[in-house]
Amino acid sequence: KAGVTQTPRYLIKTRGQQVTLSCSPISGHRSVSWYQQTPGQGLQFLFEYFSETQRNKGNFPGRFSGRQFSNSRSEMNVSTLELGDSALYLCASSSPTGETQYFGPGTRLLVL
């Protein structure tokens, strides 16, 4: 069974631009969570989607948004990029029982 996939793997943007990241969960997984990981703040939860609905949201500004499609694929968008948005963005899908999250390889975003 294929794992969680994320595209693109690497991205360089400049301040003020916007970016869209994509995540395809493991087949059969309907829950997708997004995380931001930085050396200083560690792993921080952004939001979770289940059946196209946002189920939980972390403490991030409104510039960070997401959505989920009917095939469970998810996208997250960051508008008006800031230097501090440089991070590894991780997507994780949850098994149908919800017991375990499986992470994708991440998208490394660099904002210049």
Partner 1 sequence: DAKTTQPPSMDCAEGRAANLPCNHSTISGNEYVYWYRQIHSQGPQYIIHGLKNNETNEMASLIITEDRKSSTLILPHATLRDTAVYYCIVRAVNSGSARQLTFGSGTQLTVLP
Residues at the contact surface with partner 1, assessed by CB under 8 A: 4, 6, 31, 33, 35, 42-43, 45, 48, 55-56, 58, 88, 90, 92, 94, 97-106, 108
Closest distance to partner 1 from the beta carbon of 16 (Å)? 26
Which positions ≥6 away from 62 have C-beta within 8 Å?
none
Question: How far is residue 37's CA from residue 96's CA, in Å, rounded to a whole number?
Answer: 25
* Shortest separation between residue 19's beta carbon and partner 1, angstroms: 18
SS3 label, residue 103: strand
When the beta carbons of 12 and 18 are compared against partner 1, the nearer one is 12
